[in-house]
Amino acid sequence: MLVFALKRFVVGILVMLAVSTITFTLTNVAADPARTIAGEGASAADVEAIREAYGFDRPIIVRYGEWLGGALRADLGDSYRQRRPVVDVVMERLPVTMSLGGLAFAIAILAAIPLGIIAGLRPNSWIDRASLTFALIGQAMPTFWFALLGIVVFSVTLKWLPVSGSSSLSHFVLPAVVLAYYATPTLMRLTRAGMIEVMQSDYIRTAKAKGLRTGKIVLKHALRNAILPLVSVAAVQFGFMLGGSVVVETIFAMRGVGYLAWESITYSDLPVVQAIVLTIAAIYVVLTLAADIMNAWLDPRLRSN
Amino acid sequence: MSQATSEAPVSTFAAPRFPIRRMLRHRSFVIGAAGLGLIVILAAAAPLITWHDPYAQDLMNRRIPPIWYAWFWDHPSAGWHHPLGTDNLGRDYWARLVYGARISLLIGFSATLVSGLIGTFLGVAAGYFGGRVDLVISFIITTRLAMPVILVALATVALLNSTLLVITMVLGLLLWDRFAVVMRSATMQARSQEYVTAAKAIGCSTPRIILTEILPNVAAAFTVIATIEMATAVLYEAALSFLGLGVQPPLPSWGLMLAEAKEDIFFSPWMITLPGIALFVLLLSINLLGDGIRDLSAPGGRS
């Protein structure tokens, strides 16, 4: 178990290293950072001056090493736009995004698991068809369109919820629901499929034959096994939601990391963009690592490979 | 399940596995194919079904509502001249929607082609050779999964240039992970079949085995993933354009139309409704078609 966890940990570190290399290369080779800082109307001499002042004239490998060394000491440079440490800029935006992601994730789980269980217990019933349709609509509904429709209905017409901002709990309701609906279909379909498979297994038949009540069979015997694949997918989905928050936070003007990402990309504030990509990748790596270890703990068969 | 797979006449599945009658009986396949077919026809025949130029501005006739505003609310300016109304620059909305379908389909299809090639190459290599090759490719897949697609796509497109080619290539280079994962396991399954052992035994070369034995047998899985990824690519193009970093004005992308209509959300809500419905119908059709193909190509076949 410890060896398994250690191996996964090392892979996680290597993935982070690879992500940082790609991010750094992309932001330094695909674009000329000196030109980006100088702005559109700058003269060639200005660009050269900036290139020397910031040290962009040195080889990329040296700069990458420096940047990586800084990253290990939680120093990712200064924001071009705000002229203060990138880490501070990103960190102060993290709470909004984490609350939004956490709330959306809770809503998604609370909707997906009960629906998936009920649908999986009675395949082809009306409730199964209704939940599958609900999932199908969710998969085809672009987040940004759903968000706009939500604003039209709940903020403009009914005036129940605020249009934009992130200062109170009511500001989080609509964005969280929008983000949750994006993640619900996958989780629901997976619970349903797991449930259908488990309910046909021998040990459930045995439990039924022993005369156990359906509620007890489902909760004590079926759910535990049906939900196994959900753990790792849920981790992946949470990562997707952090990515999806770029769209949702921008629409609702919530002061989170997603909105910051969009602002920084529009203003070519590359150090901030690098830092956000790294942060989201790190969260994803930690989550999948946790999910792997949790799965191995739940299912000893997984530890061997 | 695995028994059924190994006993199915895999090498000749193309003809007997997709009988027309079974396809026509499959409801989501039919609805999906019809929806996608309709959108493809509308996009291809765009100049024939609208007499308006999608770029022609008419500042005297801005924000005309669709025809049903004349039917139900006696709106004075709504009429057949602009059946779906005009946008904030007086451009015909129906024309922009129909020409916008071209962009969605073009980017969706080309990006899927690129990602399909990359993903299949990596997945088949990992699944066929296994060992170290598999280890390296699995690591590449994990790394790709750790990078937030929408963020990296936004940043790259912003740094390079928001041309259709760049958007297509960026999406294609980012969305291959599902292809790789599925092709890898499909290839692993195909590799252990007797016909591959037989081909090896009679001395076929590795490229030949991959081309004539492996690829035809992972084709069904490829098609299913291709539909999912095409829907994803269409969605991401719309999202990028909506955020102002994808397709640039005055091109009529549905995502861009939604962004432009956002300002008029209070007084002309139909302006965000129509491109959204178009996008929704396209994504729903592709997904339904994918579900249908998945069911029809499954060994047992589902209802």
Q: Are A239 and A283 in contact (CB under 8 A)?
A: yes
Per-residue pLDDT tens over the stretch B54-65: 888 888 888 878
Whether chain B has a CB inside 8 Å of the CB on A287: the answer is no
pLDDT at residue B238 tops 70 = yes
pLDDT at residue B162 tops 90 = no
Question: Domain of A154: which CATH number?
Answer: 1.10.3720.10
Collapsed DSSP state (helix, strand, coil) of residue A85: strand
pLDDT the model gives residue A240: 80
pLDDT the model gives residue A269: 86
In a domain, A38, yes or no: no
**Closest partner CB to B160 (pick from A19, A30, A141):** A30
The rounded distance, in Å, linking the Cα atoms of B219 and A76 is: 45
Separation in Å, CA of B21 to nearest CA in chain A: 22
pLDDT the model gives residue B275: 92
Q: Shortest CA distance to A241 belongs to which of A91, A81, A105, A62? A: A105
This complex has an ipTM of 0.87
Separation in Å, CA of A255 to nearest CA in chain B: 16
In a domain, A127, yes or no: yes
Q: What residues of B are in the A interface, CB distance below 8 Å?
A: 139, 142-143, 145-152, 154-156, 158-160, 231, 235, 238-239, 242-245, 255, 258, 262, 265-266, 269, 272-273, 275-276, 279-280, 283-284, 287-288
CATH 1.10.3720.10 fits B104-288, yes or no: yes
Inter-chain CB pairs, A–B, below 8 Å: 127
**Helix or strand holding residue A297 (H, E):** helix A270-298
The total of structural domains in chain A comes to 1
Chain centroid to CA B11: 28
The rounded distance, in Å, linking the Cα atoms of A94 and A76 is: 16
pLDDT the model gives residue A74: 82
Break chain B into its structural domains and give their ranges: 104-288
Per-residue pLDDT tens over the stretch A156-173: 888 888 877 777 888 889
In a domain, A246, yes or no: yes
In a domain, A117, yes or no: yes
The rounded distance, in Å, linking the Cα atoms of B153 and B246 is: 9
Chain B CB contacts of A261 under 8 Å are 151, 154
Helices (H), B26-163: 27-44, 46-49, 68-73, 93-129, 131-146, 149-159
Do B238 and A144 lie within an 8 Å CB cutoff?
yes
Q: Shortest CA distance to B255 belongs to which of B233, B231, B279, B282? A: B279
pLDDT the model gives residue B234: 95
pLDDT the model gives residue B220: 86
Whether chain B has a CB inside 8 Å of the CB on A142: the answer is yes
**Cα-based torsion angle of the residue sequence B44, B50, B52, B55 in order, rounded to the nearest 10 degrees:** -30
pLDDT the model gives residue B3: 37
In a domain, A86, yes or no: no
The rounded distance, in Å, linking the Cα atoms of B115 and B120 is: 8
pLDDT the model gives residue A303: 66
pLDDT at residue B77 tops 80 = no
Q: Give the model's confidence band at B300: pLDDT under 50 very low, under 70 low, under 90 confident, else very high.
A: low
pLDDT the model gives residue B135: 92
pLDDT the model gives residue B297: 79
Do B244 and A266 lie within an 8 Å CB cutoff?
yes
**Closest partner CB to B158 (pick from A19, A265, A284):** A265
Per-residue pLDDT tens over the stretch B84-136: 888 888 788 898 999 999 999 999 999 999 999 999 999 999 999 989 999 99
CB crowding B53-63: b at 16 or more within 10 Å, else e? ebeeeeeebbb
Range of the domain at A126: 94-268
In a domain, A180, yes or no: yes
Q: Mutating which of A16, A137, A144, A157 best tests the B interface, going by the most B Cβ atoms within 10 A?
A: A144
pLDDT the model gives residue B13: 43
Residue A142: how many CA atoms within 13 Å on its side-chain side?
Answer: 33
Tokens of B128: 């066929």
Instruction: Pick out chain A residues at pLDDT < 70.
Output: 302-305
Question: With pLDDT > 90 as the criterion, what percentage of chain B qualifies?
Answer: 44
Exposed/middle/buried for residue B220 (C-beta within 10 Å: 0-12, 13-18, 19+):
buried
Q: Are A19 and A278 in contact (CB under 8 A)?
A: yes
Q: Are B287 and B227 in contact (CB under 8 A)?
A: yes
